Amino acid sequence: MESALPAAGFLYWVGAGTVAYLALRISCSLFTALRVWGLSHEVGVGPGLGEWAVVTGSTDGIGKSYAEELAKHGMKIVLISRSQDKLNQVSSEIREKFKVETMTIAVDFASEDIYDKIKTSLAGLKIGVLVNNVGVSYEYPEYFLDVPDLDNTIKKLINVNVLSVCKMTRLVLPGMVERSKGAILNISSASGLVPVPLLAMYSATKAFVDFFSQCLHEEYRSKGIFVQSVRFFEALVQQTCEGGNEALHMAGMEFRIRTQNMASSGRAVNLEFFRKRGLCVWEYEDCHTKN
């Protein structure tokens, strides 16, 4: 009986420590939610930031839903994707439904020689929002050396997932800085939060997007530019596009970017959420609290 007492005491302290840890996590989440929703400054996403919104990978799923939501808020939309036929279809749908002007640019982000064409097409536009959504992954998880057509896959993932974010930002950011306002939404992934074996290259590229977003926000928040990283746990791809707009209301915080005094303290909000049984679960995390 006496020998059981030390074990009971040990289990007590393990339980107490676990409860304390969970209570701390819940308290931090509640405090973050209060800061984001109760104490934050609200910046409306709409023509006030600039007449035009640019969305890459905009003919399906996440990109299409962003384009529709931005059009709903009165912004003119530049749709950039690979297929001109799909671009024409989505462009027509948005014009008819939301009565806004649209423009299409057909390019393949797997190529590196597309950006002069994009630059020429965007010349003179007052762009208030850039959504860097285009992205690719493997057909299925695989060991690095066993990925089919590895050399081309390496080039494709870097060009589409990394180079496109940097190059599109390079094209659009100067105009935002000149007008002292703008928003850049970079679509990352939960795969970029921790290393994901068998998706090594994809995970690494999404980690880049997340860190690039945080760094860019710190560099340009004082100039009125807001940069947000959106980390999806389960992508709303073409097959699950139905209901995507409801999820994007959450992803874009109903397209009212919230940040604590964007011009001074510049609290950037990263969003993480996934779809499960029709529900979206997400948590908010401040850039300044990340290690």
What does the pLDDT look like over 5-31, one tens digit per residue? 566 677 788 888 889 988 988 887 677
12-21, 161-170, 172-181, 279-288, range with the lowest pLDDT: 279-288
Q: Are residues 31 and 53 in the same domain?
A: no
Of 66, 115, 202, 284, the catalytic one is 202
169-183, 247-261, 277-291, range with the lowest pLDDT: 277-291
Q: How confident is the model at residue 193 (pLDDT cuts 50, 70, 90)?
A: confident
Q: Are residues 124 and 54 in the same domain?
A: yes
Residue-range definition of the domain harbouring residue 199? 43-289
Has residue 232 got a pLDDT over 80?
Answer: no
Q: How far apart are CA 61 and CA 271, in angstroms?
A: 18
pLDDT at 61: 83
**Helix (H), strand (E) at residue 88:** helix 84-98
Do residues 79 and 104 lie in contact, with contact meaning Cβ atoms separated by under 8 Å? yes
Q: Residues 19, 21, 23, 27: what is their CA dihedral angle, to the nearest 10 degrees?
A: 180
Q: Are residues 164 and 276 in the same domain?
A: yes
Residues 116-147: tens digit of each pLDDT? 999 999 999 999 999 999 999 988 899 999 99
According to DSSP, the residues that pair with 130 across neighbouring strands are 54, 184
Q: Are residues 35 and 60 in the same domain?
A: no
Q: How far apart are CA 193 and CA 188, in angstroms?
A: 9
Q: How far apart are CA 142 and CA 145, in angstroms?
A: 8
Residue among 236, 181, 226 at smallest CA distance from 50: 181
Q: Are residues 33 and 52 in the same domain?
A: no
* Number of domains, the chain: 2
Question: What is the torsional sign of CA 109, 113, 114, 115?
Answer: positive
Q: Are residues 207 and 107 in the same domain?
A: yes
pLDDT at 34: 66
User: Average pLDDT, stretch 212-237?
Assistant: 83
Question: Please, what is the average pLDDT of the chain?
Answer: 80
Instruction: For residue 183, give the CATH number of its domain.
Output: 3.40.50.720
Whether 202 is a known active-site residue: answer yes
Q: Are residues 11 and 141 in the same domain?
A: no
Q: Are strands 225-232 and 279-286 parallel, antiparallel or unpaired?
A: unpaired
Q: Are residues 83 and 32 in the same domain?
A: no
Has residue 258 got a pLDDT over 50?
Answer: no
Q: Are residues 65 and 201 in the same domain?
A: yes
Q: How far apart are CA 209 and CA 192, in angstroms?
A: 8
Q: Are residues 29 and 50 in the same domain?
A: no
Q: Are residues 47 and 34 in the same domain?
A: no
According to DSSP, the residues that pair with 56 across neighbouring strands are 80
5 or 238: which leads in pLDDT: 5
Q: Are residues 283 and 232 in the same domain?
A: yes
